C-alpha cells in the first residue's frame, strides 16, 4: 500500500563536468527501504576513451550507507551530454532499468546513423521496462506516475513521485529556463506544451532538474524549485510568456548551437542502456559517423 501523505526524501548528486544532477528518491527512516535512482552518470574522457565510475560510486555509497534497496534505475530521456551509469548501478546494486516507450522513436532516428542494430535492440529490450504514457507505479512507499513531456527530445519523460517531479531537461531552474530543442525530433512547440503540463501541477510540488547552468556563475549549482516558483519566475516559460514568444526565442537561441562534446558516445551507450556493446577481440568501441550530425 502506498503512502499518500509521506513526502519522498531526495538526495541530489551534481557532476560538475557535465553539469548533470542525479538523484536518489527514498523514504528516510521508513520500513520500506526501496528507492529509485534517476539519471546516473558514467564518467567518460573523450580524449582517451577511458571510463571512470566516481560519479556513480558516490550514488552507490550513499545508498549503501542508508541501507536502501534499489527498486528502479530510471532515465528521463536519452541524454546527449553524458553517458548513463545505469548499467553499472544495476550491476552493483540490482534494480530494474526503465525509460519511456518513446525511446523506440529515438532508436528509429539514430540506428540508421550508427548501424548498431546487432547490440542495440530496436524494440527497447535493453531496458527492463518501458513505461506507457501516464503509467502508474510505485517507488518504495510512494505512488508514482510518468507523464510524456517532449520537446527537448521526442522521448522526454517526467517522473512524479509523491510531490517530487523529475523533469530531466524538459525544464531547468527559473533563471535558466528550458532545455534546447534542436536535437533530432526536438520541438520548441512541444517544449512549450510540456511546460504548461508541468506548470499545471500543484504549486507546492518540488521540481528537480536534470542540469543546472548558473548564469554567469553568480550562484552555486542548485537542483530544485517549486512549481509555484517556476510559474512566477521561469525566464522562458513563466506566467505571461506566450507560445509564439517562446518558440521564436527558443528556435533563435538554438540555431547554430554546437552539439555537446559527448553526444556521439553518449547516444550510443545510452541507447544500449549504459553498455558499450559487443566487443571485438576484447575491445569495445564507439563509432564516429563523419558528416552525418
pLDDT tens digits, 192-209 = 999 999 999 999 999 999
HSE-CB for 185 with a 13 A CA cutoff: 17
Secondary element (H or E) of residue 159: strand 157-161
Per-residue pLDDT, 2: 61
Asked if residue 72 is part of any domain, the answer here is yes
Asked if residue 281 is part of any domain, the answer here is no
Per-residue pLDDT, 47: 95
Asked if residue 260 is part of any domain, the answer here is yes
State yes or no: pLDDT of 53 exceeds 70: yes
Per-residue pLDDT, 218: 87
Asked if residue 160 is part of any domain, the answer here is yes
Per-residue pLDDT, 3: 59
Closest CA to 167 of 108, 243, 252, 237: 237
pTM exceeds 0.95 for this model? yes
State yes or no: pLDDT of 18 exceeds 80: yes
Instruction: Tell me the DSSP string of 211-271.
Output: B---GGG-S----EEEHHHHHHH-TTTSTT--HHHHHHHHHHHHTTPPPPTTHHHHHHHHH
Per-residue pLDDT, 129: 98
Asked if residue 272 is part of any domain, the answer here is no
Per-residue pLDDT, 240: 96
Q: Are 28 and 9 in contact (CB under 8 A)?
A: yes
Enter the C-alpha cell of residue 254.
538554438
Per-residue pLDDT, 27: 98
Pairing type for strands 129-131 and 164-168 reads unpaired
| 78: CATH | 3.60.15.10
Asked if residue 234 is part of any domain, the answer here is yes
Asked if residue 130 is part of any domain, the answer here is yes
Asked if residue 285 is part of any domain, the answer here is no
Band of residue 262 on the pLDDT scale cut at 50, 70, 90: very high
Band of residue 217 on the pLDDT scale cut at 50, 70, 90: confident
d(CA 117, CA 290): 19
Q: Phi and psi (nearest 5°) for 199? A: -75, -5
Closest CA to 10 of 179, 146, 167, 128: 167
Per-residue pLDDT, 22: 98
Closest CA to 184 of 250, 108, 252, 248: 108
Q: Are 147 and 165 in contact (CB under 8 A)?
A: no
Query: Which residue range(s) make up the domain with 39?
Result: 9-266
Give the total number of structural domains in the chain: 1
What is the overall mean pLDDT for the chain?
96
pLDDT tens-digit readout, 104-114: 999 999 999 99
pLDDT tens-digit readout, 156-184: 999 999 999 999 999 999 999 999 999 99
Amino acid at each position: 500500500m502506498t503512502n499518500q501523505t509521506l513526502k519522498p526524501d531526495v538526495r541530489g548528486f551534481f557532476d560538475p563536468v557535465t553539469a548533470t544532477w542525479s538523484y536518489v528518491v527514498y523514504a528516510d527512516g521508513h520500513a520500506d527501504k526501496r528507492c529509485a535512482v534517476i539519471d546516473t552518470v558514467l564518467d567518460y574522457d573523450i580524449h582517451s576513451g577511458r571510463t571512470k565510475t566516481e560519479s556513480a560510486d558516490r550514488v552507490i555509497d550513499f545508498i549503501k550507507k542508508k541501507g536502501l534497496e534499489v527498486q528502479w534505475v530510471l532515465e528521463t530521456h536519452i541524454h546527449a551530454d553524458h553517458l548513463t551509469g545505469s548499467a553499472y548501478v544495476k550491476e552493483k546494486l540490482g534494480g530494474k532499468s526503465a525509460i519511456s516507450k518513446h525511446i523506440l522513436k529515438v532508436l528509429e532516428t539514430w540506428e540508421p546513423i550508427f548501424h548498431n542494430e546487432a547490440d542495440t535492440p530496436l524494440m527497447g529490450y535493453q531496458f527492463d521496462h518501458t513505461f506507457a504514457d501516464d503509467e502508474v507505479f510505485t517507488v518504495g512507499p510512494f505512488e508514482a506516475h510518468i507523464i510524456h513531456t517532449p520537446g527537448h527530445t521526442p522521448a522526454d519523460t517526467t517522473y512524479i513521485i509523491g510531490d517530487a517531479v523529475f523533469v530531466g531537461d524538459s525544464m531547468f531552474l527559473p533563471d535558466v529556463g528550458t532545455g534546447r530543442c534542436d536535437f533530432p525530433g526536438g520541438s520548441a512547440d512541444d517544449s512549450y506544451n510540456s511546460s504548461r503540463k508541468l506548470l499545471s501541477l500543484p504549486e507546492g510540488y518540488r521540481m528537480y532538474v536534470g542540469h543546472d547552468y548558473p548564469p554567469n556563475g553568480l550562484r552555486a549549482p542548485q537542483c530544485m524549485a517549486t512549481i509555484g516558483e517556476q510559474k512566477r519566475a521561469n525566464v522562458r516559460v513563466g506566467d505571461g510568456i506566450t507560445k509564439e514568444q517562446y518558440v521564436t526565442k527558443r528556435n533563435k537561441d538554438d540555431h547554430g548551437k554546437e552539439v555537446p562534446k559527448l553526444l556521439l558516445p553518449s547516444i550510443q551507450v545510452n541507447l544500449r542502456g549504459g553498455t558499450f556493446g559487443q566487443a571485438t577481440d576484447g575491445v569495445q568501441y564507439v563509432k564516429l559517423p563523419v558528416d552525418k550530425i
